[in-house]
């Protein structure tokens, strides 16, 4: 019993010491990160463009019509961890001069949806977090300041930094072909303004939609006589299998992420996979004449008879699959067939 008490006391002591060391380490990380970003941001106030860059800005951008300066400096994130200090031509923002490239320390993260800091914008800030502790770097009245225990004072604007790529906001470019965006969208992202979201989820994809009688491969048009039946065949992707084979982060992105992030993503994909047959709610084939067929299998067929009381009737048969979370397949050319029905 005495040995157990000693062992228990020793274990508790180790845990307490480890906790204290962890808290101290967290404070050091936050203080170091906030101080480093503040120091780099302060460099913006004294950074001047090269003569060549200023001349290029005047040549391809012109003189500002207002009293604003020819150029501005900013700290802009290009990924969740990496950011650059750069000079931007005010009248032609495609003209940029990179001054320095830096990265946040390990375990330090930027708040998603934020993109950086612009010099001389008083009241704007950037949030940094380390294991739940929050610090900010912000532009004061005269220069950049910081706080390692930010509680909302002074009130700051965090989501109106410089425009950048989707990953610079901490978001992901969803692939519209097989992914749907979730939560916050960033419509100012340079690389994918229509599909830059806080997260992406897989959506069903119509792999095959054809018919008998068949159609021309390029035009997807079938010709019928009134009261003639058409058999439609379809195949919907198995989300469980397909999503395991692909990732919303490509190989280039994976090489940038640090190993803890890659490990957590691997665990998430391993335990987060779900059965496609449970998630698939329905597959609806709308025949275009006011009638539709509803099925719930990943692969199948259905038959429909078209009638036409005029010399020519044109219908659009469309297929769409929907999951229980509400995501639906994309309506595109491959998910529709034009049916032309003629009266003899």
Lookup: tokens for 192: 């994918």
How would residue 240 be classed by pLDDT, with cut points 50, 70 and 90? low
Tell me the average pLDDT of the chain. 84
Residue 261: per-residue pLDDT: 45
How would residue 239 be classed by pLDDT, with cut points 50, 70 and 90? low
How would residue 257 be classed by pLDDT, with cut points 50, 70 and 90? very low
Which carries the bigger pLDDT value, residue 270 or residue 342?
342
Lookup: tokens for 102: 């830096």
Residue 36: per-residue pLDDT: 93
How many whole angstroms separate alpha carbon 335 and alpha carbon 326? Answer: 18
Residue range 81-102: average pLDDT? 93
Taking alpha carbons only, the member of 81, 113, 80 closest to residue 186 is 113
Check whether 249 has a pLDDT greater than 80. Answer: no
Check whether 268 has a pLDDT greater than 80. Answer: no
201-238 confidence digits (pLDDT tens): 888 889 999 999 998 777 899 999 999 999 999 999 87
Residue 25: per-residue pLDDT: 87
24-83 confidence digits (pLDDT tens): 888 889 999 999 999 999 988 888 999 999 999 999 988 887 778 899 999 999 999 999
Residue 276: per-residue pLDDT: 38
Residue 66: per-residue pLDDT: 77
148-183 confidence digits (pLDDT tens): 888 888 889 998 999 999 999 999 999 988 888 989
Helix (H) or strand (E) holding 201: strand 196-202
Check whether 252 has a pLDDT greater than 80. Answer: no
Q: Return the ∠ at Cα 279 (arms to 273 and 283), rounded to 5°.
A: 140
Structural domains in the chain plus CATH codes = 29-169 (no CATH), 206-242+262-342 (2.60.40.10)
Taking alpha carbons only, the member of 154, 76, 72 closest to residue 114 is 76
Residue 242: per-residue pLDDT: 44
Percent of the chain with pLDDT over 90: 50
Distance of CA 6 to the CA centre of its chain: 52
Residues 6 or more apart in contact with residue 255 via CB below 8 angstroms: none
Is the pTM here over 0.75, yes or no?
A: no
């Amino acid at each position: 019993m005495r040995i157990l008490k000693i062992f228990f006391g020793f274990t508790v002591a180790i845990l307490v010491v480890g906790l204290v060391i962890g808290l101290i380490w967290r404070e050091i990380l936050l203080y170091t990160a906030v101080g480093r970003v503040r120091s780099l941001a302060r460099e913006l106030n004294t950074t001047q463009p090269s003569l060549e860059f200023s001349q290029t800005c005047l040549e391809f951008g012109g003189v500002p019509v207002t009293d604003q300066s020819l150029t501005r400096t900013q700290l802009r994130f290009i990924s969740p961890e990496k950011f650059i200090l750069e000079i931007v031509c005010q009248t032609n923002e495609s003209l940029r001069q990179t001054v320095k490239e830096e990265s946040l320390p390990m375990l330090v993260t930027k708040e998603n949806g934020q993109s950086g800091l612009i010099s001389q914008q008083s009241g704007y800030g950037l949030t940094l977090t380390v294991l739940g502790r929050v610090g900010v770097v912000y532009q004061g009245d005269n220069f950049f300041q910081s706080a390692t225990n930010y509680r909302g004072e002074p009130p700051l604007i965090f989501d109106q930094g410089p425009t950048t790529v989707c990953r610079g906001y901490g978001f992901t470019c969803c692939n519209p072909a097989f992914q749907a965006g979730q939560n916050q969208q960033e419509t100012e992202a340079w690389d994918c303004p229509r599909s830059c979201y806080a997260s992406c989820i897989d959506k069903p994809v119509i792999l095959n939609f054809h018919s008998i009688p068949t159609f021309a491969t390029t035009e997807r048009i079938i010709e019928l006589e009134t009261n003639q039946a058409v058999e439609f065949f379809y195949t919907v992707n198995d989300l469980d299998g397909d999503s395991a084979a692909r990732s919303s982060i490509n190989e280039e992105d994976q090489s940038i992420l640090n190993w803890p992030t890659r490990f957590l993503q691997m665990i998430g994909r391993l335990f987060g996979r779900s059965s496609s047959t449970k998630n698939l709610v329905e597959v609806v084939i709308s025949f275009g004449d006011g009638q539709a067929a509803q099925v719930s299998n990943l692969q199948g067929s259905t038959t429909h008879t078209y009638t036409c009381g005029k010399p020519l009737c044109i219908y659009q048969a469309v297929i769409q699959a929907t999951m229980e979370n509400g995501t639906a397949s994309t309506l595109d050319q491959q998910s529709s067939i034009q049916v032309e029905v003629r009266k003899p």
